[in-house]
């Protein structure tokens, strides 16, 4: 099984959360363009903790967060975990955050927050990852840190907004200007990895895990929203 220095892995284990505490006030104006927003959550607290710990070849473990960190993420529900491949070829950290207020999650972007935490932004690539329900758009960021840039981390990021998938909040600009624009819920998924053994690069790890986790996350969100809407219907009758 591959090994990694504990200090390096601790960076990856908290990376998906650390960047969420950054600022991006300019993108709050984008959220304000949405004409209608719900005033109550569609996804019940604790929903994302029901995400399976076993996802294909990946086995997970919860990494609890301090309350202060949770508050900084501006989420109404979240899950923070590390996942390791059963063959020892890779390890990633996963953070999923949910909000029914787009303005809360839109500012938290890797390309803004990692540099704010001392990482140098080296590259960003956009790609579509083949998953069971289609080609999912994602962004993959590479950051480095240290005098000789000896620490490296890859971060894959995407959003699920009202059932539609986006690689970056900038993709929402055209949609936000439409008179009928609305956002009932926003889910942000971030997967981070540092070098781990020789079998896979950090970029390969985050993509491999994104493929393994996309359908379970998709199903979890769809079921939670469907149940919430059904419950509202029962109350209204």
**Nearest CA to 194 among 96, 92, 67?**
92
Sign of the alpha-carbon torsion through 24, 157, 167, 44: negative
Helix (H, G, I), strand (E, B) or coil at 68: helix
pLDDT in tens, 119-145: 889 999 999 999 999 999 999 999 998
| Enclosing H/E stretch for 91 | strand 91-99
Which is more confidently placed, 11 or 210? 210
Nearest 5 degrees, angle CA 121-CA 205-CA 192?
45
SS (H, E, C) 150-206: CEEEEEEEEEEECCEEECCHHHHHHHHCCCCCEECCEEEEEEEECCECCCECHHHHH
For the chain, report the end-to-end CA distance as a whole number of angstroms.
56
pLDDT at 62 over 70: yes
Label the pairing between strands 186-193 and 120-131: unpaired
pLDDT in tens, 217-231: 999 999 998 888 887
Query: How sure is the predictor about 36, in pLDDT bands with cuts at 50, 70 and 90?
Result: very low
| Enclosing H/E stretch for 123 | strand 120-131
Name the β-bridge partners of 92.
83
- Provide mean pLDDT across the span 109-125: 85
The ranges assigned to domains in the chain are 6-236
Cβ pair 95, 12 in contact under 8 A: no
pLDDT at 139: 96
**Mean pLDDT for the chain overall:** 79
How far apart, in Å, are the Cα atoms of 33 and each of 22, 82, 161, 181?
22, 35, 15, 8
Residues 6+ apart with CB under 8 A from 77: 41, 43, 44, 45, 46, 47, 48, 97, 98
Which is more confidently placed, 205 or 115? 205
Distance (Å, rounded) from C-alpha 188 to C-alpha 200?
Answer: 25
pTM of the model: 0.83
Distance (Å, rounded) from C-alpha 185 to C-alpha 141?
Answer: 24
pLDDT at 169: 75
pLDDT at 164 over 50: yes
Q: Which of 22-26, 72-76, 210-214 has the lowest mean pLDDT?
A: 22-26
| Enclosing H/E stretch for 126 | strand 120-131
């Amino acid at each position: 099984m591959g090994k990694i220095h504990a200090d390096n892995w601790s960076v990856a284990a908290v990376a998906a959360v650390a960047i969420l505490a950054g600022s991006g006030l300019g993108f709050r104006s984008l959220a304000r363009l949405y004409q209608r927003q719900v005033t109550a959550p569609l996804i019940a607290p604790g929903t994302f903790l029901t995400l399976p710990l076993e996802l294909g070849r990946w086995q997970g473990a919860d990494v609890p967060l301090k309350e202060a960190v949770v508050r900084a993420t501006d989420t109404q529900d979240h899950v923070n975990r590390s996942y390791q491949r059963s063959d020892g070829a890779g390890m990633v950290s996963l953070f999923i955050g949910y909000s029914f207020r787009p303005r809360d999650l839109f500012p938290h972007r890797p390309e803004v927050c990692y540099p704010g935490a001392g990482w140098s932004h080296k590259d960003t690539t956009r790609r579509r990852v083949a998953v069971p329900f289609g080609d999912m758009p994602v962004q993959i960021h590479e950051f480095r840190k240290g005098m000789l840039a000896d620490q490296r981390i890859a971060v894959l990021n995407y959003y699920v907004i009202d059932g539609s998938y986006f690689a970056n909040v900038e993709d929402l600009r055209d949609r936000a200007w439409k008179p009928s624009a609305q956002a009932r819920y926003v889910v942000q998924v971030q997967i981070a990895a540092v070098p781990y053994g020789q079998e896979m690069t950090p970029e390969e790890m985050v993509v491999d895990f994104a493929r393994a986790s996309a359908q379970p996350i998709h199903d979890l969100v769809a079921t939670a929203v469907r149940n919430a809407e059904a419950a509202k219907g029962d109350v209204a009758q």
